[in-house]
Structure 1
Amino acid sequence: MYSGQSTDELLALEGEYRTDSLVLVFEQALDQKAARVGDKNLTREERTILAIEAFEREVNNGGFSQFFVNSSKEYAPFLVEALNDLGCTEIAALTRQAMKSLGIEGTITVEAIDGVMAVQDEEREAKLGEYDSRYFEIAGDVAGRLLDFIKRNRHKIVLRT
């Protein structure tokens, strides 16, 4: 549980805690920061952490379909970019394909995703299920990549304001 540490103080805990636990604490800290200062005042790097953590949680618990129906979809317009920033190019390409399978014309928005996902579509769900299977084949250590990203960008991740 996050209790006010700085980015460097949290990074100093590497090795004492599991990597996924450590990146979860960064997510908690950034959620608190966003509540204080607003989402629009987060850096790109901070939003990347939130996007990746939300994506990972949803896809690991219920697949792409769950990501697209839960509030985590707020990161969908930024997610492919965030995955590429992390160096997860295969997952980014797969996510781009999953988004394309929604059949949204133009820009991916939360409203457009809501409109598509509100309609039952067994074919779409089957396709998203295929993307889920592929994701689990290629995902690897996303938490480790995210922690490396945090370390590389520590000066752009400010937890205390």
Structure 2
Amino acid sequence: MQNIETVLQLEDEIAIIEAVGTHIWDKKQKTDLNHAEKTFVLIDIFEAAMNEGGLYYFFNNESGDFATEIIQAYKEIEAPKTAILLTKAFQLFTVKYTENTTKRQEVIAKLDEKIISGWEDLDEIFFTEEEEDVVALIVAFIRKNKSKFLNEFV
């Protein structure tokens, strides 16, 4: 069993994120997460959606239900460029944004191709430009808030 101090001594940042993520997943099955843990999860939701299919996939699935919270999460880990990129994608909606997946899918189905193209342009920026080292920023966030991440790891 590892504690947060032991995990933070790992040299590989991905290993740190995976250890913390495994703990949070296990904790989520038993109890509510605190704010720092939720921030971690929100970043993970967005990164996974982007890797699955970009902004179109993100907005067209349940992950898009958390768009405003995810923008705030990127600000909290001090990733303003990614927060701005997601804000720009969010602002491309020509109608009031809904956090209801089904209603949002209906809106997306009727969107002008220019909006989808705009998302694709932002996808390209997200994946090709060296905007921010989100992995390093998440690890820094964990280190800065280590008391908020439980010390017991399963």
Same fold (TM over 0.5): yes
Unaligned runs of 5+ in 1: none
> 2:14 aligned with 1:20, yes or no?
yes
**Match for residue 28 of structure 2 among 34, 47, 67:** 34
Structure ranking higher on relative contact order (CA contacts 8 Å, 6+ apart) = 2
1:48-69 per-position Cα deviation (integer Å, ceiling 9, x unaligned): 1111122122213421112223
Structure 2 Cα separation of the partners of residues 36 and 84 of structure 1: 28
> 2:46 aligned with 1:55, yes or no?
yes
Alignment match, 1:148: 140
> 2:111 aligned with 1:123, yes or no?
no
> 2:64 aligned with 1:70, yes or no?
no
In structure 2, the CA distance between the partners of 1:159 and 1:72, relative to structure 1 (3 Å rule), is farther
Structure 2 Cα separation of the partners of residues 102 and 155 of structure 1: 39
In structure 2, the CA distance between the partners of 1:102 and 1:5, relative to structure 1 (3 Å rule), is farther
> 2:106 aligned with 1:109, yes or no?
no
Do the aligned residues in 2 keep the contact of 1:77 with 1:109 (CA within 8 Å)? no
Alignment match, 1:86: 77
Aligned amino acid, residue 149 of structure 1? F
Number of equivalent positions: 151
Structure 2 Cα separation of the partners of residues 24 and 113 of structure 1: 31
Do the aligned residues in 2 keep the contact of 1:102 with 1:113 (CA within 8 Å)? no
Structure 1 Cα separation of the partners of residues 145 and 52 of structure 2: 28
TM-score of the pair, normalised by structure 2: 0.82
In structure 2, the CA distance between the partners of 1:6 and 1:75, relative to structure 1 (3 Å rule), is farther
Moved over 4 A (4+): 118-121
In structure 2, the CA distance between the partners of 1:151 and 1:85, relative to structure 1 (3 Å rule), is same
In structure 2, the CA distance between the partners of 1:10 and 1:135, relative to structure 1 (3 Å rule), is same
Structure 2 Cα separation of the partners of residues 25 and 118 of structure 1: 38
